[in-house]
Amino acid sequence: MSGLRLLALGVGDAFSALYYSTCLALEAGGSWLLVDCPHPIRKILREAGLSAGAALDVAQIDALVLTHLHADHSSGIEGFAFFARFLQGRRLPLLAHPDVLARLWDGHLAGSMEAAIVEPGGAPVRRCLDDFFEVRPLSEERPVEVGPFSVQCRHALHSIPTTALRVRAAGRCLGYSADTAFDPTLIDWLAGADLIVHETNPGLMHTPYENLARLPAALRAKMRLIHYPDTFDLAASTIEPMRQGQSYDI
């Protein structure tokens, strides 16, 4: 068995009525790394954990990697952070590129998280991102270490700042495209990974399946598809689609 395991928490796109929004959990040496965080993240974790025979909840997550701020990838962060901060008394390590972090608080979380009542009848006090997270900016130049994981990023082609990832642990490597238009240079960057998880979806800012189906057979053999629409024909795909709740040894 591999020392690096992937659990497909959600496999759907932003409009899916069949699946949870795309997010992943990686496990190595008993540590869990969450990749993106849609709502309802505790339910997503619980159901995928039950499918894979693992007890999985916020308490088991050791760090979060955020690829971008579209809601289908980040809408669960508020609830996750409140649970960790006020029920567990901890700040969660948060890894994201500075371009993603730049709008995370003021443009995404502050409206519901910046004011807190700390004593009955008292005036609200102001919170900030650092009250909830231990922020660790990702770099395109060098990997960032968190627990047993080493995380490196690269910009993807999307409508807002988005990063693809290479995550290494236990001598293995996962490559993840995140949301992106078809980009041969990104696929070259991911190609050295032991397992490549690549999105597929219609639209200008996503990757059509037909482009991936034309890749060399050896590359397609270690690629899995995610973020697909409900209408995607899973049985007809020449690249194996990821299945929600399934565990993969890398």
3-class DSSP string for the chain:
CCCCEEEEEECECCCCCCCCECEEEEEECCEEEEECCCCCHHHHHHHHHHHHCCCCCHHHEEEEECCCCCHHHHCCHHHHHHHHHHHCCCCEEEEECHHHHHHHHHHHHHHHHCEECCCCCCCCEECCHHHHEEEEECCCCCCEEECCEEEEEEECCCCCCCEEEEEEECCEEEEECCCCCCCHHHHHHHCCCCEEEEECCCCCCCCCHHHHHCCCHHHHHCEEEECECCCCCCCCCCCEECCCCCEEEC
Average pLDDT over residues 212-218: 97
Q: How many domains is the chain built from? A: 1
Q: Which of 8-12, 186-190, 201-205, 218-222 has the lowest mean pLDDT?
A: 201-205
pLDDT band, very low/low/confident/very high, at 205 (cuts 50, 70, 90): very high
- pLDDT at 201 exceeding the cut of 90: yes
Mean pLDDT in the chain? 96
- pLDDT at 1 exceeding the cut of 50: no
Beta strand pairing status for 247-249 and 5-10? antiparallel
Q: Give the C-alpha separation, 94 to 90, whole Å.
A: 12
Q: Give the C-alpha separation, 228 to 14, whole Å.
A: 9
Q: What are phi and psi of 35, to 5 degrees?
A: -110, 105
Which pTM was predicted?
Answer: 0.96
- pLDDT at 150 exceeding the cut of 50: yes
Q: Give the C-alpha separation, 32 to 49, whole Å.
A: 12
Residue 233 sits in which domain range?
A: 5-249
Average pLDDT over residues 170-178: 98
The tokens describing 77, both together, are 């962060």
Q: What are phi and psi of 169, to 5 degrees?
A: -165, 145
CATH number of domain containing 236 = 3.60.15.10
